[in-house]
Chains A and B, each alone.
Chain A
């Protein structure tokens, strides 16, 4: 991105102002013509970003090795990390984070693709369907969480009543410790699948219709066309959906906090909720170690995956 930009820029600058051909030298000697693109436009956003995002991110590495009360920090080496990986409740949080992220992004890919294929086919009420599926994306996560907590009530909830009406005994969606994290994940998919669908629709409509017509002439079935035309050509959309939902899934907090608060017990805790609980309990060093663990986890998964998916796209 940066390299294909700098070429035309460099030629332009050197042709209009041959006084500074070397990019390393500043134009502090030259009169007052700073060019129409002044660097001081970076100043205010740079300070805000540096102070409230970069500085906390960098200092988190130091404070994660300390016992900390915001005023004095005592170096305790790896103690926080040892505790993080030794305590059962915190290990569950780590495992749940991975389960949640993989489950939600997997389902969003599959359902988003299926809905996009449906909504780009010749069916009636497409506009209505798109709106209805997309609307939950805009709605408050807390509102959605509270509503589904009530709908998933094991005895009185609408979901189990509906299942009971067709003779299925519904489970304790949020009260069963083995199920709770998956139930929250399903609600996350319900809320987020609209965004995946919209991304896929944009990807699908950019595939030239000629490909499908040529395949049809050759006698390809609908499945063949999906498998060999739609799926490979929608790969950039798939990459976007996977990356977006993985980042969201690994960091997710709002929905889990509004539905289970990590419960029952610690059964549905994720790293983000552990960070909050340790912060509330006053263990600032431990909480910060949680932030670092989350940082490492997100970076270690998302950065190589982005590189791999984008590499495959150009190859």
Chain B
């Protein structure tokens, strides 16, 4: 009885979810595989001439390989920002959680403010201009770090609370300094939460559109999300190329997602070995 209900309910859910969640992605794929004239009909159908590879090549080569340049820019932005966020977030969370003290309340307010308050755009541009970093990659990286820090600090802090203080104390007794304790003792213990921070921040920064739009305008150093939108007006008669671009931008998160899922399975396997 119960099992039958599970099968029927599950099957219905699979069909409904396919209509709502898979069709849009399938639409991206088939449109990216069509010829120009066929794609302009906007039909959800299998392409008569399957020219996905040609379209991808054309989309990548458009505007002097702008898409590839944008992709490289996005990778630089994401890797540097996320690396800095992991390091700085863990350092703040460590001292905040361990020491408490005078600054603990202040940091609590700053972290919550950073999560809630929307950044003021034009004054941020003004500050960037003052320090000579407006329209530069380092400037945008610093912006991503400033806006992403509160969330990272919270994640790290919750995890560090579960790391026993005996570790720090044993290292202190052994004569290790604060920097050594942090990098040799604490940092390695944070592996699993670090993984979470890296995955989430990579998704946020890679998909970020608003900050690159404001703080790194111009085509020669654009990131991939801004470039994608700029292609909308350029390819408004070539839907196959527009969707080839959308497909290219969607692939990295898809790979990430597969990787992310496997990490969970690995983690569970490791946990059951210990348990």
With both chains docked as a complex, state the minimum distance between the C-beta of B96 and any C-beta of chain A, in angstroms: 8
Asked if B198 is at the interface of the complex by the 8 Å CB criterion, the answer is no
Which listed residue (B7, B17, B123, B178) contacts A34, Cβ 8 A?
B178
Asked if A223 is at the interface of the complex by the 8 Å CB criterion, the answer is no
Contact B228 A146 (CB under 8 A): yes
- Type the 1/0 row for B216-246, where 1 means its CB is closer than 8 Å to any CB of A: 0000000001001100100000010011001
Taking A52-B143, A157-B42, A298-B116 as known contacts, 10 extra A-B pairs with beta carbons closer than 8 A to each other, sorted by chain A number, are A10-B101, A24-B102, A48-B146, A53-B146, A57-B123, A139-B207, A140-B249, A146-B232, A151-B24, A294-B118
Q: Which of A39, A56, A144 has the most CB of B within 10 A?
A: A56
Contact A59 B123 (CB under 8 A): yes
Interface size class of B (residues with CB under 8 A): 35 or more
With both chains docked as a complex, state the minimum distance between the C-beta of A157 and any C-beta of chain B, in angstroms: 6
A9-B101, A133-B21, A140-B249 are contacts. A298–B118 as well, Cβ < 8 Å?
yes
Asked if B36 is at the interface of the complex by the 8 Å CB criterion, the answer is no
A36-B168, A45-B149, A254-B209 are contacts. A56–B119 as well, Cβ < 8 Å?
yes
Contact B225 A42 (CB under 8 A): no
Contact A42 B253 (CB under 8 A): no
A48-B145, A70-B126, A70-B129 are contacts. A122–B2 as well, Cβ < 8 Å?
yes
B interface secondary structure, majority: helix
Asked if B71 is at the interface of the complex by the 8 Å CB criterion, the answer is no
Contact B181 A56 (CB under 8 A): no
* Cα separation A6 to B105 with both chains bound (whole Å): 10
Return the chain B residue nearest A255 by Cβ.
B209
> Which 5 A-B residue pairings sit nearest by Cβ, starting from the closest?
A124-B10, A60-B120, A56-B123, A123-B10, A9-B100
Asked if A220 is at the interface of the complex by the 8 Å CB criterion, the answer is no
* Cα separation A298 to B116 with both chains bound (whole Å): 7
* Cα separation A268 to B209 with both chains bound (whole Å): 19
Asked if A251 is at the interface of the complex by the 8 Å CB criterion, the answer is yes
Contact A51 B127 (CB under 8 A): yes
* Cα separation A161 to B27 with both chains bound (whole Å): 14
A5-B97, A38-B178, A45-B88 are contacts. A146–B242 as well, Cβ < 8 Å?
yes
- Type the 1/0 row for A31-72, where 1 means its CB is closer than 8 Å to any CB of B: 000111111011011001101111111011001000010100
- Cβ-Cβ contact count across A and B, 8 Å cutoff: 263
Return the chain A residue nearest B202 by Cβ.
A138
Asked if B188 is at the interface of the complex by the 8 Å CB criterion, the answer is no
Contact B100 A122 (CB under 8 A): no
Residues of the B chain whose Cβ atoms lie less than 8 Å from the Cβ of A51: 127, 131, 142, 146
The residues in B between 138 and 182 inclusive whose CB is less than 8 angstroms from any CB of A are 142-143, 145-147, 149, 165, 168, 171-172, 178, 181-182
Return the chain A residue nearest B152 by Cβ.
A45
Which listed residue (B94, B116, B129) contacts A41, Cβ 8 A?
B94
Asked if B196 is at the interface of the complex by the 8 Å CB criterion, the answer is no
Asked if B91 is at the interface of the complex by the 8 Å CB criterion, the answer is yes
A36-B181, A254-B210 are contacts. A44–B246 as well, Cβ < 8 Å?
no
* Cα separation A303 to B116 with both chains bound (whole Å): 8
* Cα separation A298 to B117 with both chains bound (whole Å): 7
Asked if B261 is at the interface of the complex by the 8 Å CB criterion, the answer is yes
Contact B21 A118 (CB under 8 A): no
Contact B95 A39 (CB under 8 A): yes
- Type the 1/0 row for B17-48, where 1 means its CB is closer than 8 Å to any CB of A: 11011111001100100000000011110000
Chain B residues with a Cβ under 8 A of chain A: 2-3, 5-7, 9-11, 13-14, 17-18, 20-24, 27-28, 31, 41-44, 88-89, 91-92, 94-95, 97-105, 107-108, 110, 114-129, 131, 142-143, 145-147, 149, 165, 168, 171-172, 178, 181-182, 203, 206-207, 209-210, 213-214, 225, 228-229, 232, 239, 242-243, 246, 249-250, 253-254, 256-257, 261
* Cα separation A25 to B2 with both chains bound (whole Å): 68
Return the chain A residue nearest B208 by Cβ.
A254
- Type the 1/0 row for A273-315, where 1 means its CB is closer than 8 Å to any CB of B: 0011001000010011001101100110011000000000000
Which listed residue (B24, B107, B142, B239) contacts A52, Cβ 8 A?
B142
Asked if A258 is at the interface of the complex by the 8 Å CB criterion, the answer is yes
* Cα separation A257 to B256 with both chains bound (whole Å): 26
Residues of the B chain whose Cβ atoms lie less than 8 Å from the Cβ of A118: 9, 13
